[in-house]
Structure 1
Amino acid sequence: MGLKYISIVRNVKYPRIEIKPSGEVKVIIPPSTDPEELVRLKREWIEKKLGEIKGLKSQFKDLSDKLLLNGEFFEVVAGEEFSVNSKFKVVVLPENDLKILRGWLKDQLRKELDFKVRLFASILGVKYRKVYIRFQRTKWASCSKKGNLSFNLMLMALPEGLRDYVIIHELTHLREPKHTKRFWETVGLYYQDYKGAEIELRKYWLLLGWNEVWKSLKSVE
C-alpha cells in the first residue's frame, strides 16, 4: 500500500519532509527532484513518526477540550470571576471570554521572560534587544540577526523547565547563530538534557496541534 503524501516544489537547496499533527505528510523538494525516491528512502522513518503520532493522539484523545497549561490539563468552566486554580486544575472564565484567558497567559509569560531572559543572558554573557510574545506558526521561539527575541505564547503550555530550555536555546543563538557542534556544546553547558528537551518539545507541539482551547485562543482578536 502506497504512503500518502503531498509533494511541494520550492526553490530550496535541500529536500525535507514535514509531518503535521494531523498525520499529513508533506515532501518539500527543489525542482527536478523525485519525491518518490525521497519517500522510499525515508519510509521507515515516516512510518515510525506516524505511529508515534497515532499513539500519542490515542493517549490524550479525551483531553483535547482542556487547557494545556504548565504541562498539565485544566478544565475550563464558566463563572462570574476569572481565576486559575492550580491545585484543582480549573480555570474559571466569565462568559467563556477567551480574550481574558489570552491576556492572562500573555501577562504570565511576560513576567517570566522579563526575569529569566535577563538572568540567562547574564549567565551566557550575551546581549539582546527586544523581547516579543506572539503566536508563531512553526516555532516555539526565534532570534533575529538584530538580537530581537520572539517567543510563542504557546510556551505557557509547557512545563517551566522546558520553557527554560527554549530561552537558553534562543540566547545561545546570540553566540552561535547556527546549530553547529559548538552551539549544542554551549547549550549543553547550561541545559544538560537538551536532547530529551527536544523530544519533549515535539510531543507538546503535537498535543497543541490537537488542543481545541489553544486553537480557539489563536483566533481571538
Structure 2
Amino acid sequence: MGLKYTTIVRNVKYSRIEINPSGEVRVIVPPTQNPGELVQIKQAWIRKKLEEIDAIRNQFNGFENKLLLNGDFYEVIEGEEFSVNPKFKVVILPEGNLKVLKRWLKNQLRKELDFKVRLFASIIGVKYRKVYIRFQKTKWASCSRKGNLSLNLMLTALPESLRDYVVIHELAHLEEPRHSKRFWEIVGAYYPDYKKAETELKKYWLLLEWNEIWKSLRNV
C-alpha cells in the first residue's frame, strides 16, 4: 500500500519530510525536486515513524481528557475550591476555570525552575540573563544569543528528571550554540542518559498534542 503524503513546494535549499502528531506526512521540496523520489528513498523511515506514533496512541488511548502533570495523568473534576492531590491524581477545578489551573501551573514551574536554572548554571559554569515561561508551539525551550531562556509551560507535564534535562540542554547552549559533538559532550557530562531523554521528550510531545486539556489551556 502506497504512502499518503502532502507535497509542499517552496524555494528551500534542502528537502525535508515532516510527520505531525495525527500521522499526516508533509514533503517539503524545492521546485526542481520530485517529491515521490524522496518519499521512495525515505519510505522505511516514514513507516517506522508512523508505527511509533500509532504505538504511543494505542498505549495511551483514553487519556486525552485527563491532565498530564509531572508524568502522570490527573482526573479533573469540578468543585468549590481549587486543589491538586498528587496522591489520588486528582485536580479539583472551581466551575471548570482553566485560568486558575494555568496560573497554578506557571507558579509551580517558576518556583522550581528559578532554583534549578541557578543550580545547573552554577554547576556547568555558565551565566544566563532572564528566564521566561510561556507556551511555545514547537519547542520545549530555547536559549537566545543574549543568554535569555524561554521555557515552555508544558514542561509541567513532564517528569521532573526530564525537566532537569531540558534545563541542562539549554544551559549547555550558552557554552556551545550548535548541536555539535562538543555540545553533546557537555550535555552528557551532566546528563549521561540524554539520548533516552530525547526519545522520551518526543513521546510526551505527542501526548500533549493529543491532550484536550492542554489544548484548552493554550487558549485561556
Once the two structures are TM-superposed, the CA of residue 10 in structure 1 deviates from its matched residue by 3.0
Query: Is 2:196 the partner of 1:196?
Result: yes
Q: What is the CA-CA distance between 1:9 and the residue it aligns to?
A: 2.6
Q: Deviations over 1:2-32 (max 9, x none)?
A: 2111222334332221111111111222342
**What do the CA deviations read for 1:155-184 (whole angstroms, capped 9, x no partner)?**
000000000000000000010000000000
Moved more, 123-132 or 76-85: 123-132
**Which residues of structure 1 form unaligned runs of 5+?**
none
Distance in 2 of aligned mates of 1:196 and 1:23: 23
Q: 1:150 to 1:11 in 2, by over 3 A?
A: farther
CA RMSD across the alignment: 1.0
In structure 1, the residue matched to 2:22 is 22
Partner of 1:150: 150
Q: Distance in 2 between matches of 1:144 and 1:29?
A: 29
Partner of 2:173: 173
Quote how far apart the aligned CAs of 1:214 are. 0.3
Instruction: Compare 76-85 and 24-33 and name the one that shifted more.
Output: 24-33
| TM-score scaled by length of structure 2 | 0.97
User: Distance between the aligned counterparts of 1:162 and 1:50, measured in 2?
Assistant: 24
Alpha-carbon distance in 1 for matches of 2:30, 2:148: 31
- The residue type equivalent to 2:208 in the other structure is L
Which residue of the partner structure matches residue 214 of structure 1?
214
* Corresponding position: 1:111 with 2:120: no
SS, match of residue 63 in structure 1: coil
Question: CA offset at residue 33 of structure 1?
Answer: 2.1
1:109 CA drift (Å): 0.6
Counterpart for residue 140 of structure 2: 140
Paired AA for residue 156 in structure 2? M
Name the SS of the counterpart of 2:127 in structure 1.
Answer: coil
TM-score with structure 1 setting the length: 0.97
User: What letter is aligned with 1:87?
Assistant: K
Amino acid at match of 1:212: E
Secondary structure class of the residue paired with 1:78: strand
1:185 partner letter: E
The Cα offsets for residues 85-117 of structure 1, whole Å up to 9 and x where unpaired, read as: 000000000000000000000001111110011
Letter in 2 for 1:193: D
Aligned length: 220
Tell me how far apart the structure 2 counterparts of residues 19 and 75 of structure 1 sit (CA, whole Å).
30
> Secondary structure of 1:166's match?
helix
Matched to 2:86, the amino acid is S
Q: Which residue pairs with 1:69 in the alignment? A: 69
SS of the residue corresponding to residue 14 of structure 1 reads coil
Letter in 2 for 1:64: E
Alignment partners' CA distance in 2, 1:15 and 1:147: 31
